[in-house]
Structure 1
Amino acid sequence: MPPTLPINLPPHLSINFLRSYLSAGRLDRARELFDKIPHPDLRSLTVLISAYTKQGHPKESISLYWKLRREKDLKPDRLVLLSVAKACGRSLDLDKAKGIHEEAIKFGFDSDLLLGNVLVDTYGKCGFSEGARRVFDDLPERDVVSWTSLVAAYVNCRLPIEALQSFRDMLSSGTKPNSVTLSTVLRVCSELKALNPGREIHCFVLRNGIEEDAFISSGLADVYANCSSIRQARIVFDSIPRKDIVSWIVILTAYFSDGNSGEALKLFQLMKSEGVAMSSASWNCMISGFAQNGRAEQAFEMLAQMQRLGFKPNKITAASILPACADLESLRGGREIHGYIIRHKFVDDLVVMTALVLMYAKCGDLDKSRGVFSQMPRKDTVAWNIMILANSMHGFGKEALSLFRRMVDSGVRPNSVTFTVVLSGCSHSRLVDEGRSIFNSMSKDHELRPDADHHACMVDILCRAGHLEEAYEFIQSMPMEPIASAWGALLASCKVYKNVELGKIAADHLFEIEPENPGNYILLSNMLVAAKMWDEASKVRTLMRDRMRGRGIAKVPGCSWIQIKNKVYTFVKGDDRNARRDEVCGFLKEMGKKMKLEGYLPDTDYVLQDVDREEKEDTLCSHSEKLAVAFGVLNLNGESVIRVFKNLRICGDCHNAIKFMAKIIGVQIIVRDNVRFHHFRDGSCSCRDLW
């Protein structure tokens, strides 16, 4: 501990005491000493400002500087200005950075190379690329740090093309890049998927014998991976003599991005066998990779291994595993992760909370999703998009519209995804005028050009509302080639509204765009059967068989599932393997009698086989969603909500039947099909029968 503070120390002694306090970690005592010096010298000020910045208090550094400028008319030197400029960069305070730039000009340091480099870097960190360029251009001479700082500034300002051009200008000037420059530019090449510039840098690295630099080699591997050159990425990785954890994570991420989870797992096992020092980052990479590739169960296995080996899950772990919960529709697992987030105080993390909002929405608990969103202290564009999407997929179009308006009013700028999800909400709720208004506002109010997906959403809005001719005209007037989802929306709605001729036109286009999609053939065939056009339906089925023959493509069977406690129970039409199937079928027969007393009539139009009505009614009873709902009722155990998931669109008869079941039993039944969520309560559905 430094000695007790003497009074009226001369400057050359006061700085020694100041450094003594700082080395002991007593920043408070150092400030106390500094404030007692009648005329502090610039060395003492520089030392204290630097200490504040290094210890995470850059705003105190800036405040101290301006306090002395006001109260003691301090005239700074280049080292003081350097220290304050760095503090501005750390605190991301653009206004104060501009002030320090003005101070540098005022006191004649605007030509100083070291200070100029720091100001370029500071402006870049503050997102002010114009300021960074201005300082750079005003420098009478530039070194490798100057150029590297300019490139990094453009990267920080998300201007990758300008960053790459600055690097080319650097080479043209004859300045040789260092490892920091190359690592920075490689990030740009990776982001832009610029394979040729990446190869040029690779050649430069080989010519200059710096291929053993782990950071550069990792950057090269990342470029090749993002440019889908996985083989070349692996060659670069294998050539690194001393691989660090970053190198391993880069190549693991590359394999996951390429969809090759198996090779990633082999590499991870090799990594462990070679004694590489594992970290939470490596485990998070595996958890995230499996989750993103639809391997949710393997993601959970990795999480379990991570914890068994003593690694503590962090914020990134939580954000990575939540999508796996959503993919498995594991509300129970998601709730456990939520509890972990609360216990470990991750609730202020924007990424974690956004993932939590999406998990609850995909698992069928919209109320909880809304609750988490409302508690978020800060919301960015992604968070708003997720909450709008949640309401859209659950069929609450008006709420989605209200959220969109709140988002705009709060100053958060919507992006292309925002309009896709809000238009989807309009579609599911038959909000035609509102949809038109939102679509037109993209270019008019938000300077965004509608793409093919936005046009397809608008087609869907018109189709679901029954405006089929207008939708067809809209498709024909699109400024780009219509995508499959636009024609698919028209075909599906033609079946609902029994417009066979327009349905044929839509189907013909779909057969050209995606000839191997059996769903389009089946949809048209079913439409023709319903219209009693048997010969044409038979031709469509024959066409489908001819095109599918030898390709291993077949109609996906309907499948529904429900989670009871920790176990998932799956139901398929005609599957007799469930031990309680007789009990389920008996329950449905009894429920059918009660439903008919309430006014339910089985809609046998959904049975396409040529059998008598009684047999058709029995066939309807075996639909997978009815079986899953019945099983949920038999296992309620005091719960007030039943959640069922289906891989295909729910059939019209099942939709009607579940409305009656929810009313008779007095519970809420939520069914998620491959289009949206249906909330059945008191004899009605949230979709208002418009799905």
Structure 2
Amino acid sequence: MNSMSVLSKLPTNLPPHLSLKFIKIYLNSGDLLRARQLFDKILQPDIHSCTVLINAYTKQGHAKEALNLYSELRARDIQPDKLALLSVVKACASLSEVTKAKEIGNDVKRFGFHGDLFLGNALIDMFGKCRYIDGAKDVFSSLQVRDVISWTSLCSCYFNCGMLREGFRVFREMGSDGVRANSVSVSSVLPVCSRLKDLNAGREVHGYVMKNGMEENVFVSSALVDMYASCLCIDKARLVFENMSRRDIVSWNVILTAYFGNGEFDKAFTTFSRMRNEGIRLNYASWNAIIGGCVQNGRTEQALEIAIQMQKSGLKPNHITITSVLPACTHLESLRSGKEIHGFMFRHWFLDDITATTALVYMYAKCGELQRSCRVFQMMPVKDTIAWNTIIMANSMHGNGEEALLLFHKMVKLGIQTNSVTFTAVLCGCSHSRLVDEGISTFYSMKIDHDIEPDSEHYSCMVDVLSRGGRLEEAYRFIQEMPIEPSAAAWGALLGACRIYKNVDLGQIAAKRLFEIEPDNPGNFVLLSNIFVAAKLWREAAEVRKSMRDKGVKKVPGCSWVQVKNKVHNFVVGDISNYDSAEIYRFLDDMGQKMKLAGYLPDTEFVLQDLDQEEKEDSLCNHCERLAVAYAILNLNGESSVRVFKNLRICGDCHNAIKFIAKIVGVQIVVRDSLRFHHFKDGTCSCKDFW
């Protein structure tokens, strides 16, 4: 006869001791469901059967059920015993339900258990996890006897409530009260020293550890390593780590993260290799630390390689891995790798993770795929402030100022909290799309409607809005009336606009201030020289270039790159290092003839060397962005668009030429320069020839 048939034959009026016996039989066999079914058959359950079942629910992680059963017990006016209260206190602690915690605390007092040490310690822990400091203090005060658990639980309560200094004060009082801290106490207080970056407090705890022989405890030693690393004492952290007689994966991960946090990439990577050589079983924290560390230190290709190694080891990337590795794709502008990660996220249900999906939105935007970026954003089930800021900035960098504004207004209408980054993104969109009045309105709404004080970046954006809109005198007055010191970005925005609008006088004023603020920035010299050249002030332009040479300021070489077949190909002006260079130049020569027939006229104003007209035209054809575009088109492989990236502003003549190339070849050409994205299609550019 099976257990279900036995259950069905049991009478409903079993005496309490027999009911309890059968409940325990089911619980011992791990059948919690049938134990509850039998309990529900009891007409008048006693406290013992209730307690056994509540305890079982709590131990097996069914905290909600434990609390519900306790409520039933109280509704039947059954007085709980100490064990029942202990079990339900632990259940409430795991759920962090402060209202229920207060009710249980009152029951403990009502039934006379408020002086019990074990129950009191459990209550302090419960109130701590519910972040109810007053309740924890009341219980602690009511205890006639307090042991190390009482003190440690009160310390943890303060820490959980964010009252770090007060918690450390309680830790000190514990020693004054004659209670000796144990390894759990020390392991809980050391992370506080890390968070506060309080080296003196950390050394004090370290001294206590040495005095009381706790240095052999792996948790204590790992916490010490983390504390010293957080306080920027990496040598001390290394010494503690190397002196550990036993190290677990946590301690290895702590020193690994410490090296990365201190900018010691080589030592971090050596430690990672050492972990693998010594057969340490790497966990998610290990892999994520090395991937994140590589990205933070600019080793983006290495980050992608290690992510592949992680999968080969048998661990599938989790949401932290995805969030760490997507910036590597963004930095490398590796659309192919980004798409692969997107596919992985789709297959493994990571698209619900808001942090990872926001990183995906940004990756697509930075790789020139704005439409994909917008689609991912639209499919996000939940969108926070960071997600909204990201999609607004994505549209802004692609020159979609109108869409950026619409998204901003929708964000506000939905009640999403704006912050300073939101307004930086919106103002950038207004500047790139010459939405001057909208930019002014947005800027002044910051303080009035959103209680956000504009900072230096916002003022610089506002100068850019006015400058790009052609209101140079107004931009100059705005700079003069700023309540904060104008930054290089503000003066740079004005100088850039002076080049476009050929305003020599204001250009000289802006350049003079920039030479004082950032004397080693070659871009300012180049812009001023271009302004003089456009005005045919050859002597002044030559003087600027001479001043630049005399001061040892070197122009950053222009470089463009394109990814073909998962490999990045770099180009500089006049580049002949590519294997297909001859074919690239043949393509450009042929395209040059077709462009002239279509009405293209080379703008030799952008050539500053003293060359004759034909040489100047040939020089323009050697510019790196044009070489990269040509190579990308030669390797289209059926694609309808190409993406090229450049480290500096796109050359004005190249900008004009690429419009013709896009129309003649019939493809969309996306170029990302140092300022924004340019989408060339059918002979026009998304920037409307203004950047």
Q: TM-score, normalised by structure 2?
A: 0.88
Q: Specify the alignment match of 1:204 in structure 2.
A: 208
Distance 1:239 1:298, change over 3 A: same
- Decide which moves more: 391-400 or 176-185: 176-185
Q: How many angstroms does 1:574 deviate by?
A: 0.7
Q: Specify the alignment match of 1:136 in structure 2.
A: 137
> Does 2:254 align with 1:250?
yes
Q: Specify the alignment match of 1:685 in structure 2.
A: 685
The partner residue of 2:241 within 230, 237, 241 is: 237
> Does 2:427 align with 1:387?
no
Please tell me whether the aligned partners of residues 128 and 136 of structure 2 are also in contact (alpha carbons under 8 angstroms). Answer: no
Q: How many angstroms does 1:562 deviate by?
A: 1.5
Q: Distance in 1 between matches of 2:582 and 2:527?
A: 32
> Does 2:575 align with 1:575?
yes
Find the structure with the greater CA-based Rg: 2
Question: Unpaired segments of 5 or more residues in structure 2?
Answer: none
Q: Specify the alignment match of 2:30 in structure 1.
A: 25
Distance 1:665 1:108, change over 3 A: farther
Q: Specify the alignment match of 2:323 in structure 1.
A: 319
- Decide which moves more: 242-251 or 305-314: 305-314
Q: Specify the alignment match of 2:382 in structure 1.
A: 378
Q: How many angstroms does 1:623 deviate by?
A: 1.6
Please tell me whether the aligned partners of residues 604 and 613 of structure 1 are also in contact (alpha carbons under 8 angstroms). Answer: yes
SS at match of 1:140: helix
- The amino acid that maps onto 1:277 is R
> Does 2:59 align with 1:59?
no
- Decide which moves more: 209-218 or 473-482: 473-482
SS at match of 2:671: strand
Q: Specify the alignment match of 1:14 in structure 2.
A: 19
Superposition pairs of residues 315-394 of structure 1, within 5 angstroms: 315-394=319-398
Residue by residue, what CA displacement relative to the aligned partner does 1:102-145 show, whole Å, maximum 9, x if unpaired?
Answer: 6556666667665565555555545xx4x333542564246554
Distance 1:207 1:434, change over 3 A: farther
Q: Specify the alignment match of 1:616 in structure 2.
A: 616
Q: How many angstroms does 1:290 deviate by?
A: 0.7
Superposition pairs of residues 459-608 of structure 1, within 5 angstroms: 459-548=463-552, 554-608=554-608
Superposition pairs of residues 50-199 of structure 1, within 5 angstroms: 50-70=55-75, 72-77=76-81, 79-97=83-101, 99-100=103-104, 118=122, 121-122=125-126, 125=129, 129=131, 131-137=132-138, 139-141=140-142, 143=146, 144-146=148-150, 148-153=152-157, 155-156=159-160, 159=162, 162-172=163-173, 174=176, 177-199=181-203
Distance 1:96 1:293, change over 3 A: same
Q: Distance in 1 between matches of 2:679 and 2:57?
A: 56
Residue by residue, what CA displacement relative to the aligned partner does 1:556-602 show, whole Å, maximum 9, x if unpaired?
Answer: 21111222222222222111122322322232333334334444333
Q: Distance in 2 between matches of 1:108 and 1:422?
A: 62
- The amino acid that maps onto 2:350 is F
Q: How many angstroms does 1:247 deviate by?
A: 1.4
Q: Distance in 1 between matches of 2:89 and 2:412?
A: 34
Distance 1:193 1:547, change over 3 A: farther
Distance 1:68 1:582, change over 3 A: same
Distance 1:445 1:90, change over 3 A: farther
- The amino acid that maps onto 1:671 is V
Distance 1:579 1:197, change over 3 A: same
The partner residue of 1:451 within 443, 452, 455 is: 455
Distance 1:632 1:189, change over 3 A: same
Q: Distance in 2 between matches of 1:447 and 1:79?
A: 53
Q: Distance in 2 between matches of 1:104 and 1:435?
A: 61
Q: How many angstroms does 1:667 deviate by?
A: 2.3
Q: How many angstroms does 1:353 deviate by?
A: 2.0
Q: Specify the alignment match of 1:656 in structure 2.
A: 656
Q: Specify the alignment match of 1:671 in structure 2.
A: 671
Please tell me whether the aligned partners of residues 117 and 136 of structure 1 are also in contact (alpha carbons under 8 angstroms). Answer: no
Q: How many angstroms does 1:239 deviate by?
A: 2.6
Q: How many angstroms does 1:194 deviate by?
A: 3.4
Please tell me whether the aligned partners of residues 133 and 150 of structure 1 are also in contact (alpha carbons under 8 angstroms). Answer: no
Q: Distance in 2 between matches of 1:90 and 1:515?
A: 59
Identity of aligned residues (%): 59
Q: Distance in 2 between matches of 1:156 and 1:11?
A: 42
> Does 2:299 align with 1:295?
yes
Q: How many angstroms does 1:681 deviate by?
A: 2.5
The partner residue of 1:432 within 432, 436, 444 is: 436
Q: TM-score, normalised by structure 1?
A: 0.88
Q: How many angstroms does 1:11 deviate by?
A: 3.5
Superposition pairs of residues 216-235 of structure 1, within 5 angstroms: 216-235=220-239
Q: How many angstroms does 1:641 deviate by?
A: 1.8
Q: Distance in 1 between matches of 2:184 and 2:409?
A: 44
- Decide which moves more: 293-302 or 16-25: 16-25
Q: How many angstroms does 1:154 deviate by?
A: 5.2
- The amino acid that maps onto 2:137 is F
Q: Distance in 2 between matches of 1:489 and 1:630?
A: 31
Q: How many angstroms does 1:653 deviate by?
A: 2.1
How well do the aligned residues superpose, as a CA RMSD in angstroms? 3.1
- The amino acid that maps onto 1:304 is I
Distance 1:307 1:60, change over 3 A: same
Distance 1:41 1:196, change over 3 A: same
Q: Number of matched residues?
A: 680
Q: Distance in 1 between matches of 2:392 and 2:128?
A: 33
- The amino acid that maps onto 1:390 is A
Distance 1:172 1:649, change over 3 A: same
Q: Distance in 1 between matches of 2:61 and 2:401?
A: 45
Please tell me whether the aligned partners of residues 529 and 544 of structure 2 are also in contact (alpha carbons under 8 angstroms). Answer: yes
Please tell me whether the aligned partners of residues 163 and 185 of structure 1 are also in contact (alpha carbons under 8 angstroms). Answer: no
Q: How many angstroms does 1:671 deviate by?
A: 1.3
SS at match of 2:639: coil
Q: How many angstroms does 1:171 deviate by?
A: 1.6
- Decide which moves more: 630-639 or 111-120: 111-120
SS at match of 2:141: coil
- The amino acid that maps onto 1:514 is E
Q: How many angstroms does 1:234 deviate by?
A: 1.7
- The amino acid that maps onto 1:382 is I
Q: How many angstroms does 1:93 deviate by?
A: 4.1
Q: How many angstroms does 1:370 deviate by?
A: 2.0
Q: How many angstroms does 1:333 deviate by?
A: 1.3
Distance 1:358 1:53, change over 3 A: farther
Distance 1:445 1:52, change over 3 A: farther
